[in-house]
């Protein structure tokens, strides 16, 4: 940061006249990208691939909005840092949490087909119906996925 | 020499007590309720957080009395569960998080950087009212039955309990907004309102730490906000976002919750480190040994603090791989604290050390922080945590950091800056007596809890097997001493407001930047002239300039 | 040395080989912690004594650290911390990886008890019997909220989550009895959710299992179509019956408001009726409410309960009443239950397994 | 800048700032910090979406076909265009054309209203079909683990976004009216800029919500 009270170079740059045509160009680009992402979705690419393409297009669109409509292209400095930092920590939270779900003991993930296969052998003490004592009255028993019902 | 130019007229008379100050500049209750003066807002926070602290302390004492015997002592299990929830919620959201940043940060951060107010004064006032609103909503919940979930609000317990958990959640959410507003204000202030000559590498270390705290407040608190809202929505409407019966994942809640609540620990301890950095320099009469290391370690804690939340989940069902990732990252956050501890200690080397009450608290702080911090490292050592997780060891560890760290620093700050804030000194004798009482009482309260944790006593236990009895009695006895200590402080500080000796502008002969102005400071902080900064803070190498110079003549904006 | 440190730190006995290894790391870490805290405190104290202020106008030299200082300040603790992590994580991976030959036991936590089931029977509550010297894998789930299965003597803890399984394992060294605590806060009875691991010599364990399975068959033959295990306490019978008759569909037992008044703390409670009068919910009123529910309705509730006149035999009414009477929010056990621990499963035929 | 505009703008200078540029810089930084908190507020929901999508990938794919893409596409176009008008309004305000700026802001508010109208049509359809969160989920066509979770996330995320649209409309409407009344001038149009930043963020979040719920 430059000395606090002196308008920085970025501010000087920000105050010079920006042609309105720039906004229109960005707008057209955003519309075009929207059309492309819809078309790509119609093409039914592979499961993961479609997601990646859609997110890449969304990130491109988001960057256009942030850079030109929100003037990060002209301002920068601390403002850019703030945005980048917040996105960084968001990715961190998302990344490590997903890593956890992907790598934990498989039965510790919420019921999926894998869990359903792991119903306990022998007498069933684990079904919620048997000891109705603690079942919360506000929720129905976990019908969608109770392991023992899949035997 | 201090941050005033060398051209002070020698005839400058500095009054011992600044008659026309921020306290009496405008009169009347209304002028307080609508004030945008950062100093008055700091004082308002001082009053509010003291009330919260007294309430939280009362609950703590009731909890300790209940645990005096293995079975029921004075209350039912239902009441006990509400007590520890309220103790946690009040102490964390109403006291720990706002206390040092909102009282001393508000009061001294602008003064230290030569600003006449924070960047957004009206927003600053709004944060007080948001705080009051949040406290009010939480209080409504408390009066109408309270919540019995613990301050961690773990699902699915919190979404199925019959108690009034929704108002408490909303209260905590609103308090979070107050915290965010303060954080935004501090960051913008430090970026845009530093006085001429005050570059980043001349900022007082207090400002560095508060700045780092503000970064955490801004980036972490919103995640807590949305998490608490989701729990409230699920408890109130049954949307099932964390409900296992509908495919929800309770561990996801824990990830989101600790993504805030682990950095929140640093929201509580970084301001304490901020205070200690000032206190140690003043009472050792030395510049900080390794200024840059201490400054950047604050930012380091703020940054790495975001990478370690998963060490609260080692036994929760989180994956082994994640446990490893969080385990190793947690080790790095300890390093930054170690740097600070070593540098503070080294600052005393070749200093001129005066033993006053704030310095007594500094000594306590140093020991407790090392012990508490290293037990934190021990807890983050994955296999050890399996035994300690959710036992009294954890309780003792975070109380060592919170009480032994934050409250020691809070008391140090209170004594250190009391003369500046109110123009009068506290009685030194009583100060030392209560400091000794508190440090002894603190050890007696929490060291037995470490041992209880080792024995395997889980936390949040209303009753316990008889083998845990003797250590619980010791802990309760210690907490009584602690309560006495706090009581004494409250009494003598209140008395000193009227009857204390006049302090003068710089009773400690400190070269910290906040001491250049009068005591108590005038409403616009510096009078007619703006301060100009030439030296680093705590620069004691120049010849003693006599009584503290009044702010020098205005220097035209240039750099 | 090991024994001395363990006693000094108030640690419980080391019931597994894993526990001993964890304790050694514990001693290492805690010793360094105490040394560091004492070291910093003593250094500070020495500096204070050596450099105490002698006059109010003392000048001090400016002392700046060299790069070496900061490298030492960072390097020494970081080296120690990473060493601890390396040892600790290796141990943790060991705890998380059950041996292939481990014996499985299913564990279910619920408010506020532990249930255990062995593949092939039997099952039961509160006491987990395992053979000594054999790895045991626990597959654990919860019926309601999160609990945490904690055996201090084994240095073992694992949260138990509803709707999914968690796993952990241990190998008990020697026969003995070790307490189980619930370490994750789960409500009113959290501190009473106690249990016990009973470690038996392998031969005793085998004999116990064989006997329990045999009595299951005998029991199934004896009991015929009898639904209720008459050897259970009246309260336990009442709990089962209440579930069976559907009482719990409308009455909660944990204080939650529902279609009917909660049973928690209901006995001897003063209730306001819809006609404005009050009544003490004693045995007579509770029985009347089962037989003729519409007679006296508690304020705030609708007359929707069907009558159970003639549908419940007398002894069963008594059992349900006993169950209601047992539901006290302040009735907290401080010991594991002493009741009939292993109830054989009626109708279960071990020959098939 | 013209001299009289400079004088008029000085009236907005707070006592503790040395000059207007500095004050605008602080306000902009404060706004960006606030936007960062908004990003992390939504971030919690995006993480929940990520986790549940990971766990119930097929169910989410099946559920997303129940949302009609054309409504989402229309709303995307509406929001992007309103972002353009807001950006233009800021541009005009900075160069002193307050009337134009005010009108452009009011156009943006109208676009926000269109967005909410379309959203309410969609919501009505989902209510009718029983595509509802958690315990309200009654749709018989898709019964699989995680099906109700998709709608929980859909309603929470679009609902929170809709709330932001409403707040944004209020803010832009207020500043639009103030522009028309001449409360701002060439030297001082910071509120218009900050309100615009808020609106762009609302747009930016929708840009991510649209593919996550409507396309994949």
Torsion-angle region of C155 (φ positive above 0: left; ψ -120 to 50: alpha; else: beta)? left
* Domain harbouring C245, CATH code: 1.10.760.10
Report which of C212, C220, C155, C207 is spatially closest to residue C24, judged by C-alpha positions. Answer: C155
Asked if C120's CB is within 8 angstroms of A133's CB, the reply is no
Residue-level pLDDT at B169: 94
> Does an H or E element contain C278, and which?
strand C278-280
Q: Band of the pLDDT at C213, cuts 50, 70, 90?
A: confident
Q: What mean pLDDT comes out for the span B142-168? A: 89
* Domain harbouring C179, CATH code: 2.60.40.420
End-to-end CA distance of chain A: 66
Q: How far is CA B327 from the centre of its chain?
A: 26
Question: Does residue A42 surpass a pLDDT of 50?
Answer: yes
Q: What mean pLDDT comes out for the span C101-110? A: 87
Residue in the structure block whose two tokens are 């060294």? C173
Residue-level pLDDT at C232: 58
Tell me the CA distances in angstroms from B246 to A142, A143, A148, D46, one per residue in order.
Answer: 7, 9, 16, 19
Q: Which two tokens stand for residue C203?
A: 């031969």
Report which of D50, C145, A100, A97 is spatially closest to residue B256, judged by C-alpha positions. Answer: A97
Percent of chain C with pLDDT over 70: 86
| Most confident of the ranges B20-24, D13-17, D26-30 | D26-30
Whether C253 maps to a domain, the answer reads: yes
Contacts of D52 (CB under 8 A, 6+ apart): B247, B249, D60, D146, D149, D150, D153
Q: Band of the pLDDT at D2, cuts 50, 70, 90?
A: low
Percent of chain B with pLDDT over 70: 94
For residue B292, the SS3 value is: helix
Interhelix angle B121-143/B77-89, rounded to 10 degrees, is 180
Farthest-apart Cα atoms in chain C, separation: 98
pLDDT tens-digit readout, D152-204: 999 999 999 999 999 999 999 999 999 999 888 888 889 999 999 999 999 99
**Using CB atoms and an 8 Å cut-off, which of residues 43-62 of chain A contact chain C?**
none
Residue-level pLDDT at B529: 76
Contacts of B497 (CB under 8 A, 6+ apart): B422, B424
Q: Does domain B35-516 have CATH number 1.20.210.10?
A: yes
Report which of B197, B153, B196 is spatially closest to residue B171, judged by C-alpha positions. Answer: B153
Question: Does residue B220 surpass a pLDDT of 70?
Answer: yes
- From the list B200, B306, B559, the residue facing A1 with the nearest CB is B200
Q: Which two tokens stand for residue B88?
A: 């946690």
Q: How far is CA A109 from the centre of its chain?
A: 19
Question: Does residue C272 surpass a pLDDT of 70?
Answer: yes
CA angle, B141 as apex, B138 and B143 as ends, to 5°?
Answer: 110
pLDDT tens-digit readout, C145-200: 899 999 999 999 999 988 788 889 999 999 999 999 999 999 888 998 999 999 99
Whether C350 maps to a domain, the answer reads: no
Residues C160 and C129 in one domain: yes
Look at the domain D42-215 and name its fold. 1.20.120
Contacts of B407 (CB under 8 A, 6+ apart): none
Residues D118/D78, Cβ–Cβ less than 8 Å:
yes
- What is the Cβ-side half-sphere exposure of residue B196, based on CA atoms within 13 angstroms? 14
Q: Band of the pLDDT at C221, cuts 50, 70, 90?
A: low
CA-based nearest distance B35→chain D, Å: 15
Residue-level pLDDT at A63: 94
For residue B553, the SS3 value is: coil
Residues D68/A54, Cβ–Cβ less than 8 Å:
no
Residues B418/B496, Cβ–Cβ less than 8 Å:
yes
Residue-level pLDDT at C340: 33
Asked if C188's CB is within 8 angstroms of B78's CB, the reply is yes
Q: What mean pLDDT comes out for the span D85-101? A: 91
Question: Does residue B532 surpass a pLDDT of 60?
Answer: yes
Report which of D32, A69, D7, D36 is spatially closest to residue B192, judged by C-alpha positions. Answer: D32
Which range among B425-429, C281-285, D68-72 shows the weakest confidence by mean pLDDT?
A: C281-285
d(CA B375, CA B404): 13
Subunits next to A (3 or more Cβ pairs <8 Å) are B, C, D
Q: What mean pLDDT comes out for the span D13-39? A: 91
Residue-level pLDDT at A94: 95
Q: Band of the pLDDT at B199, cuts 50, 70, 90?
A: confident
Residue-level pLDDT at C220: 53
Give me chain B's average pLDDT, please: 89
Contacting residues of B for A3, CB less than 8 Å apart: 194, 196, 199, 559
Which range among A128-142, B181-195, B379-393, D175-189 shows the weakest confidence by mean pLDDT?
A: A128-142
pLDDT tens-digit readout, C57-105: 777 888 888 889 889 989 999 999 999 999 999 999 999 999 888 888 8
CA angle, B306 as apex, B184 and B53 as ends, to 5°?
Answer: 65
Q: Band of the pLDDT at C225, cuts 50, 70, 90?
A: very low
Residues C209 and C166 in one domain: yes
Percent of chain A with pLDDT over 70: 60
Residues B164/B81, Cβ–Cβ less than 8 Å:
no
Nearest chain B alpha carbon to D38: B222
Percent of chain C with pLDDT over 90: 32
Domain count, chain C: 3
Report which of B331, A92, B352 is spatially closest to residue C49, judged by C-alpha positions. Answer: B352
d(CA B41, CA B35): 7
d(CA B178, CA B423): 29
d(CA C116, CA C147): 14
Residue C16 pairs in a beta bridge with: C172
Question: Does residue B557 surpass a pLDDT of 50?
Answer: no
Residue C157 pairs in a beta bridge with: C150
- From the list A122, A128, A145, the residue facing C117 with the nearest CB is A122
Question: Does residue C332 surpass a pLDDT of 70?
Answer: no
Helices (H), chain C: 2-8, 17-50, 67-96, 202-223, 234-244, 283-291, 314-326
Q: Band of the pLDDT at A127, cuts 50, 70, 90?
A: very low
Question: Does residue D126 surpass a pLDDT of 80?
Answer: yes
Asked if A27's CB is within 8 angstroms of D135's CB, the reply is no
Contacts of B342 (CB under 8 A, 6+ apart): C40, C69, C73
Whether C273 maps to a domain, the answer reads: yes
In this complex, is the C-beta atom of B188 within 8 Å of any C-beta atom belonging to chain A? no
End-to-end CA distance of chain D: 50
- What is the Cβ-side half-sphere exposure of residue C38, based on CA atoms within 13 angstroms? 6
Q: Band of the pLDDT at C219, cuts 50, 70, 90?
A: low
Residues C121 and C201 in one domain: yes
Contacting residues of A for C117, CB less than 8 Å apart: 120, 122-123, 125-126
d(CA A71, CA A75): 6
CB neighbourhood size of B459 (10 A): 21
- From the list C51, C92, C189, the residue facing B383 with the nearest CB is C92
Residue-level pLDDT at C282: 81
Residue-level pLDDT at D176: 94
Residue C142, domain extent: 103-228
Q: Which two tokens stand for residue B53?
A: 């602290």
Residue-level pLDDT at B211: 96
> Residue B151 has what DSSP assignment?
T
Interhelix angle C67-96/C17-50, rounded to 10 degrees, is 160
Residue in the structure block whose two tokens are 């209601």? C324
Question: Does residue A133 surpass a pLDDT of 60?
Answer: no
> Residue D133 has what DSSP assignment?
S
Residue-level pLDDT at B46: 96
Residue-level pLDDT at A118: 45
Q: What mean pLDDT comes out for the span C24-41? A: 92
Asked if A138's CB is within 8 angstroms of C258's CB, the reply is yes
For residue C112, whether the previous peptide bond is cis, meaning omega lies within 30 degrees of 0, is: yes
CA angle, B184 as apex, B183 and B190 as ends, to 5°?
Answer: 90
> Residue B317 has what DSSP assignment?
T
Whether C347 maps to a domain, the answer reads: no
Q: Band of the pLDDT at B323, cuts 50, 70, 90?
A: very high
Q: What mean pLDDT comes out for the span C273-297? A: 82
Contacts of C221 (CB under 8 A, 6+ apart): none
pLDDT tens-digit readout, A47-80: 678 889 999 999 999 999 999 999 888 887 889 9
Question: Does residue B256 surpass a pLDDT of 70?
Answer: yes
Question: Does residue C351 surpass a pLDDT of 70?
Answer: no
| Most confident of the ranges B58-72, B527-541, C317-331, D122-136 | B58-72
Q: What mean pLDDT comes out for the span B207-231? A: 95
d(CA C324, CA C253): 8
Tell me the CA distances in angstroms from B508 to A18, B60, C25, D185, one per residue in order.
Answer: 55, 35, 46, 50
Question: Does residue D106 surpass a pLDDT of 50?
Answer: yes
Asked if B318's CB is within 8 angstroms of A4's CB, the reply is no
For residue C125, the SS3 value is: strand
d(CA B186, CA B179): 11
d(CA B193, CA D26): 8
**Using CB atoms and an 8 Å cut-off, which of residues 128-147 of chain D contact chain A?**
135, 143-146
Domain ranges of chain D: 42-215
Asked if A99's CB is within 8 angstroms of B246's CB, the reply is no
- C-alpha gyration radius of chain A: 26
d(CA B434, CA B485): 5
Nearest chain B alpha carbon to C185: B460
d(CA B460, CA B150): 8
Residue-level pLDDT at B547: 36
What does A98-130 look like in DSSP terms, one character per residue? HHHHHHS-GGGSSS-HHHHTTPPSSS----TTT
Residue-level pLDDT at C216: 64
Residue-level pLDDT at B20: 86
Considering only residues C263 and A9, tell me which one the structure prediction assigns the higher pLDDT. Answer: C263
For residue A71, the SS3 value is: coil
Contacting residues of B for D135, CB less than 8 Å apart: 238-240, 246
Residues B133/B233, Cβ–Cβ less than 8 Å:
no
Task: Quote the ipTM score.
Answer: 0.87
Residue-level pLDDT at C228: 52
């Amino acid at each position: 940061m430059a000395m606090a009270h002196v308008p920085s170079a970025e501010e000087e740059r920000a105050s010079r006249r920006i042609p309105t045509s720039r906004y229109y160009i960005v707008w057209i680009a955003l519309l075009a990208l929207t059309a492309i992402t819809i078309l790509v979705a119609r093409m039914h690419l592979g499961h993961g691939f479609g997601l990646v393409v859609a997110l890449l297009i969304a990130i491109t669109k988001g960057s256009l909005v942030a850079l030109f409509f929100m003037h990060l292209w002209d301002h920068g400095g601390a403002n850019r840092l703030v945005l980048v930092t917040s996105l960084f920590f968001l990715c961190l939270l998302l990344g490590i949490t997903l890593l956890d779900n992907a790598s934990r003991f498989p039965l510790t993930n919420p019921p999926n087909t894998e869990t359903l296969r792991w119903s306990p052998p022998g007498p069933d003490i684990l079904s919620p119906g048997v000891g109705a004592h603690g079942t919360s009255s506000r929720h129905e028993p976990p019908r969608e996925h109770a392991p023992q019902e899949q035997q | 020499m201090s941050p005033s130019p060398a051209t002070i007229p020698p005839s400058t008379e500095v009054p011992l007590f600044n008659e026309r100050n921020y306290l009496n500049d405008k009169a009347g209750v209304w002028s307080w309720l609508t004030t945008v003066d950062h100093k008055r807002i700091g004082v308002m926070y001082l009053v509010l957080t003291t009330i919260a602290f007294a309430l939280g302390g009362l609950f703590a004492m009731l909890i300790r009395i209940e645990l005096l015997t293995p079975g029921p002592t004075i209350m039912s299990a239902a009441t006990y569960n509400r007590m520890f929830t309220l103790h946690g919620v009040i102490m964390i959201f109403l006291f720990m998080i706002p206390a040092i940043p909102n009282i001393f940060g508000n009061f001294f951060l602008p003064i230290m950087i030569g600003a006449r107010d924070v960047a957004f004064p009206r927003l600053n006032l709004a944060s007080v009212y948001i705080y009051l609103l949040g406290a009010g909503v939480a209080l409504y919940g408390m009066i109408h039955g309270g919540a019995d979930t613990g301050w961690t609000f773990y699902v699915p317990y919190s979404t199925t309990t019959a108690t009034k958990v929704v108002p408490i959640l909303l209260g905590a959410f609103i308090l979070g907004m107050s915290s965010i507003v303060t954080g935004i204000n501090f960051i913008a202030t430090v970026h845009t309102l530093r006085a001429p000559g005050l570059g980043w590498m001349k900022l007082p270390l207090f400002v560095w730490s508060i700045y780092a705290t503000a970064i955490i407040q801004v980036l972490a608190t919103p995640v807590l906000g949305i998490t608490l809202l989701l729990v409230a929505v699920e408890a109130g409407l049954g949307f099932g976002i964390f409900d296992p019966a509908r495919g929800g994942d309770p561990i996801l809640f824990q990830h989101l919750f600790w993504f805030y609540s682990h950095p929140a620990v640093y929201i509580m301890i970084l301001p304490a480190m901020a205070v200690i950095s000032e206190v140690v320099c003043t009472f050792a009469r030395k510049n900080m040994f390794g200024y840059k290391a201490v400054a950047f370690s604050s930012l380091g804690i703020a940054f790495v603090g975001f990478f370690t939340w998963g060490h609260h989940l080692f036994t929760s069902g989180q994956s082994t791989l994640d446990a490893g990732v969080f385990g190793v990252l947690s080790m790095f956050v300890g390093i930054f604290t170690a740097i600070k501890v070593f540098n503070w200690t080294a600052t005393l080397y070749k200093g001129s050390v005066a033993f006053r009450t704030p310095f007594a608290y500094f000594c306590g702080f140093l020991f407790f922080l090392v012990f508490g911090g290293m037990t934190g490292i021990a807890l983050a050592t994955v296999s050890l945590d399996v035994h300690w997780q959710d036992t009294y060891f954890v309780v003792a560890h975070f109380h060592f950091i919170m009480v032994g760290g934050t409250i020691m620093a809070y008391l140090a700050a209170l004594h250190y800056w009391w003369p500046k804030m109110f123009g009068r000194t506290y009685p030194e004798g009583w100060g030392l007596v209560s400091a000794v009482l508190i440090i002894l009482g603190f050890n007696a309260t929490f060291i037995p809890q470490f041992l209880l944790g080792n024995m395997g006593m889980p936390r949040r236990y209303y009753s316990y097997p008889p083998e845990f009895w003797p250590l619980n009695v010791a802990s309760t006895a210690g907490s009584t001493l602690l309560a006495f200590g706090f009581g004494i402080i409250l009494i003598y500080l209140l008395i000193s407001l009227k009857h204390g000796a006049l302090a003068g502008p710089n009773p400690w002969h400190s070269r910290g930047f906040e001491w250049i102005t009068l005591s108590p400071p005038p409403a616009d902080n510096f009078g007619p002239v703006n301060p100009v900064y030439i030296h680093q803070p705590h620069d004691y190498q120049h010849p003693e300039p006599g009584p503290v110079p009044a702010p020098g003549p205005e220097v035209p904006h240039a750099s | 040395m090991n024994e001395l440190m363990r006693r000094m730190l108030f640690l419980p006995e080391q019931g597994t080989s894993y526990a001993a290894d964890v304790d050694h790391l514990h001693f290492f870490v805690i010793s360094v912690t105490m040394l560091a805290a004492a070291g910093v405190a003593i250094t500070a104290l020495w500096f204070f004594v050596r450099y105490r202020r002698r006059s109010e106008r003392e000048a001090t030299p400016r002392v700046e650290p060299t790069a070496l200082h900061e490298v030492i300040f960072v390097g020494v603790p970081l080296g120690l911390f990473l060493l601890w992590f390396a040892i600790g994580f290796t141990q943790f991976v060991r705890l998380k990886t059950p041996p292939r030959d481990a014996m499985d036991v299913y564990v279910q936590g619920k408010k506020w008890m532990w249930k255990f089931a062995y593949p092939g029977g039997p099952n039961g509550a509160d006491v987990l019997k395992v053979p000594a010297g054999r790895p045991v894998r626990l597959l654990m789930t919860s019926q309601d909220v999160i609990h945490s299965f904690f055996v201090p003597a084994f240095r073992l803890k694992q949260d138990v989550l509803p709707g999914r399984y968690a796993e952990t394992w241990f190998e008990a060294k020697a026969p003995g009895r070790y307490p189980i605590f619930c370490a994750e806060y789960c409500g009113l009875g959290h501190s009473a959710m106690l249990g016990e691991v009973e470690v038996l010599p392998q031969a005793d364990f085998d004999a116990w299992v064989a006997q329990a399975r045999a009595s299951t068959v005998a029991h199934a033959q004896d009991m015929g179509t009898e639904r209720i295990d008459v050897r259970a306490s009246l309260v336990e019978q009442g709990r089962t019956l209440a579930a069976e008759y559907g009482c719990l569909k409308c009455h909660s037992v944990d204080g939650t408001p529902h279609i009917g008044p909660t049973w928690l703390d209901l006995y001897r409670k003063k209730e306001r009726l819809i006609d404005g009068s009050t009544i003490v919910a004693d045995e007579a009123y509770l029985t009347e409410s089962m037989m003729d529910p519409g007679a006296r309705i508690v304020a705030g509730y609708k007359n929707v309960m069907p009558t159970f006149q003639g549908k419940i035999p007398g002894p069963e009414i008594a059992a349900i009443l006993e169950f209601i009477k047992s539901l006290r929010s302040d009735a907290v056990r401080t010991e594991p239950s002493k009741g009939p621990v292993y109830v054989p499963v009626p109708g279960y035929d071990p020959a098939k397994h | 800048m013209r001299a009289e505009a400079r004088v008029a703008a000085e009236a907005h200078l707070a006592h503790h700032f040395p000059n207007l540029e500095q004050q605008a810089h602080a306000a902009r930084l404060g706004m960006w910090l606030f936007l960062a908190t908004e990003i992390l507020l939504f971030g919690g929901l995006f993480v929940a979406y990520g986790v549940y999508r990971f766990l119930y990938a097929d169910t989410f794919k099946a559920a997303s076909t129940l949302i009609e893409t054309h409504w989402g596409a229309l709303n995307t176009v509406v929001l992007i265009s309103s972002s353009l008008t807001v950006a233009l309004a800021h541009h005009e305000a900075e160069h002193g054309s307050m009337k134009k700026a005010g009108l452009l802001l009011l156009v943006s508010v109208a676009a926000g209203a269109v967005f909410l109208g379309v959203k309410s049509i969609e919501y009505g359809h989902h209510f009718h079909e029983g595509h509802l969160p958690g315990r309200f989920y009654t749709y018989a066509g898709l019964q699989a683990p995680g099906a109700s979770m998709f709608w929980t996330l859909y309603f929470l995320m679009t609902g929170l976004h809709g709330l932001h649209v409403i707040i944004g409309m209020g803010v832009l409407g207020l500043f639009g009216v103030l522009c028309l009344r001449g409360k701002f001038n060439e030297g001082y149009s910071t509120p218009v800029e900050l309100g615009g930043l808020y609106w762009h963020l609302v747009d930016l979040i929708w840009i991510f919500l649209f593919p996550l719920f409507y396309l994949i």
